[in-house]
């Protein structure tokens, strides 16, 4: 089995680096490295978005939760789809017209505060690191479980490949890899799942009718089959998706706003197709794999069903598909977070971008080494909960409410993020406060919105100058608002 697994992993990583390095367009400008020169077709962009969103949590963790916790976990993929509906309805067109590539860019442009930009960058960094640690830990699980090698080899392999992609051509290279690997993942996971289903004789799945226990609840309500637990996850996914830096930057990789909207629609369609994967493996895992951790069930399934050569080959294919998922998400997050950090700290440019990307990866590897393996779903939901309680209110109110002030945003970010972190820390430390610690998103999100509104109302003197022009620009059709110009005040490459 070890040979098949290592061959599959090596194939995906080498292929990813080659596709990223072979990207024909080359540019030293900010627009190419940050937003792929705004030349990505909508369907290709949709495949890239879906690829980076169907991460370790979707490919391994959600299927494992369905196998161990029952039917209520089927709502988790629905939460992801709901997040893109919210983005399409509230964010895509106005944010695109603002001309800001990153969330910190938007915060400074909309509120007129360089300090707020730095404060927002801190939250982008924390959320991005949470997603990166989830991918790296999952890669370590695959390597340890299937080969017996040290987990750090999995971290290092994904990190080096993602770094090579980002250095080769920024978001343009990463987009090429992500879009191509989406189809690879889809074929591998659906194909292997179909083979396993045929081998199982398609047993009945009446167990989906109810929920059942399966261990302690994870971070931010992950794995809780109760109604409050499921609603918490749905809220975090629906509102948190819009604040993910690697999703928001995708709105600028198309030529115009119409293309950006079509990209989100394509993403929803592709997510709907991929959503067959978690239930398929959840059903099979519940029947054939018992006593394993949630992240391990999918990987152990083929060998448990067929211990011979066929099982080994199928396991190698699954390992390749899993590493395609890790690489796609890691590369997207690295580019998005590295771009935000470099634009905040220095004059935007390719050299500073590469330096920031390398620093973010080093920080992620250090955090992975300093923390024990955690379920990928729990870490991803923690990132989504933080995003829902911080960057979501900033975007929604910044786009749709003209009276928002920088003081209100600082208060909302601090209270929303601080409350989420405190409640999760209390839950981890065993300090139980009922629904407060078990379900942080329904508590922290309203608090963040309320803080931004109340503090903004009591600080009307801090309204930015020209707010009327900014609101008009965001809500006028693109052909009336003028050409999309990159509005980072630190940019050295203003590209339309």
Cβ-in-10-Å burial (0-12, 13-18, 19+) of 24 comes to: exposed
Give pLDDT, residue 16: 85
Tokens of 286: 């519940």
Quote the CA–CA distance of 361 and 271 in Å, as a whole number. Answer: 27
Q: How many CA atoms lie within 13 A of 476 on its CB side?
A: 14
The model's pTM: 0.89
In CATH, which superfamily holds the domain spanning 2-374? Sodium/glucose cotransporter (1.20.1730.10)
Q: Determine the Cα–Cα distance for residues 298 and 245; give it in Å rounded to an integer.
A: 28
**Contact, 28 vs 494, CB < 8 A?**
no
Q: How many CA atoms lie within 13 A of 405 on its CB side?
A: 15
Asked if residue 342 lies in contact with residue 124, where contact means CB atoms within 8 angstroms, the answer is no
Residue 369, phi then psi, degrees to nearest 5:
-70, -30
**Residues making up the chain, counted from first to last:** 496
What's the pLDDT score for residue 480?
62
Q: Alpha-carbon distance 363 to 382, whole Å?
A: 18
Note the pLDDT of residue 398.
Answer: 95
Q: What is the domain partition of the chain in residue ranges? A: 2-374
409: which residues sit within 8 A by CB, 6+ positions away?
107, 111, 116, 120, 394, 397, 398, 452, 456
47 touches 266 (CB < 8 A): yes
Low-confidence residues of the chain: pLDDT under 50: 24, 27-28, 204, 206, 209, 211-212, 215, 483, 486, 489-496
CA angle 104, 105, 106 (to 5 degrees): 90
Structure confidence at residue 1 (pLDDT): 66
3-state helix, strand, coil in the chain (%, to 5): 80, 0, 20
Instruction: Point out which residues pair with 211 in neighbouring strands.
Output: 70
* Radius of gyration of the chain from its Cα atoms, rounded to whole angstroms: 22
Q: ∠47-53-54 over CA atoms, to 5°? A: 85
Relative orientation angle of helices 309-345 and 114-147, to the nearest 10 degrees: 160
Q: Are 71 and 208 in contact (CB under 8 A)?
A: yes
The rounded distance, in Å, linking the Cα atoms of 297 and 471 is: 49
CA angle, corner 207, sides to 141 and 319, nearest 5? 20
Nearest one of 60, 94, 59 to 271, comparing CA atoms: 59
Bridge partners of residue 348, in order along the sequence: 491
Q: In this predicted structure, what is the pLDDT of residue 450? A: 97
């Amino acid at each position: 089995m070890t040979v098949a697994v290592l061959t599959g992993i090596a194939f995906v990583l080498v292929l990813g680096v080659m596709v990223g390095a072979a990207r024909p367009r080359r540019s030293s400008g900010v627009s190419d490295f940050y937003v792929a020169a705004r030349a990505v077709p909508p369907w290709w962009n949709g495949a890239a978005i879906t690829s980076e969103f169907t991460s370790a949590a979707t490919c391994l963790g959600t299927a494992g939760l369905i196998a161990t916790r029952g039917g209520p976990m089927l709502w988790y993929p629905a939460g992801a789809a709901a997040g893109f509906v919210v983005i399409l309805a509230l964010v895509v067109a106005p944010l695109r017209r603002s001309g800001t590539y990153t969330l910190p860019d938007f915060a400074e442009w909309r509120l007129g505060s360089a300090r707020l930009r730095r404060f927002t960058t801190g939250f982008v960094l924390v959320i991005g690191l949470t997603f990166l640690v989830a991918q790296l830990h999952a890669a370590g699980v695959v390597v340890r479980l299937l080969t017996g090698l040290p987990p750090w080899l999995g971290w290092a392999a994904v990190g080096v490949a993602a770094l090579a992609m980002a250095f080769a051509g920024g978001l343009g290279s990463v987009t090429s890899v992500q879009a191509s690997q989406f189809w690879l993942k889809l074929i591998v996971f659906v194909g292997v799942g179909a083979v396993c289903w045929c081998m199982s004789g398609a047993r009945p799945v009446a167990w989906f009718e109810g929920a059942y226990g399966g261990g302690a609840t994870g971070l931010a309500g992950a794995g809780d089959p109760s109604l409050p637990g499921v609603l918490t996850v749905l809220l975090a996914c629906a509102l948190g998706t819009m604040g993910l830096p690697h999703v928001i930057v995708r709105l600028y990789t198309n030529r115009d706003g119409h293309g950006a909207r079509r990209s989100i629609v394509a993403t929803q369609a592709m997510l709907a197709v991929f959503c067959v994967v978690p239930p398929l493996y959840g059903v099979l895992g519940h029947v054939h794999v018992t006593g394993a951790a949630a992240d391990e069930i999918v990987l152990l399934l083929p060998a448990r069903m067929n211990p011979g050569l066929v099982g080994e080959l199928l396991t190698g294919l699954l390992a390749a598909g899993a590493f395609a998922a890790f690489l796609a998400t890691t590369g997207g997050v690295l580019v998005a977070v590295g771009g935000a950090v470099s634009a905040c700290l220095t004059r935007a440019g390719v050299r500073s971008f590469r330096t920031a990307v390398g620093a973010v990866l080093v920080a992620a590897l250090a955090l992975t080494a300093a923390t024990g393996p955690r379920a990928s779903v729990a870490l991803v939901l923690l990132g989504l909960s933080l995003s829902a309680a911080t960057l979501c209110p900033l975007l929604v109110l910044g786009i749709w409410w003209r009276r928002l002030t920088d003081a209100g945003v600082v208060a909302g970010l601090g209270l929303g993020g601080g409350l989420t972190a405190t409640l999760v820390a209390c839950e981890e430390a065993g300090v139980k406060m009922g629904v407060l610690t078990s379900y942080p998103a329904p508590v922290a999100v309203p608090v963040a919105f309320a803080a931004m509104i109340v503090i903004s109302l009591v600080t009307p003197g801090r309204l930015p100058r020209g707010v009327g022009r900014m609101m008009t620009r965001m809500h006028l059709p693109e052909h009336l608002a003028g050409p999309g110009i990159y509005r980072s005040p630190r940019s050295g490459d203003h590209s339309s």
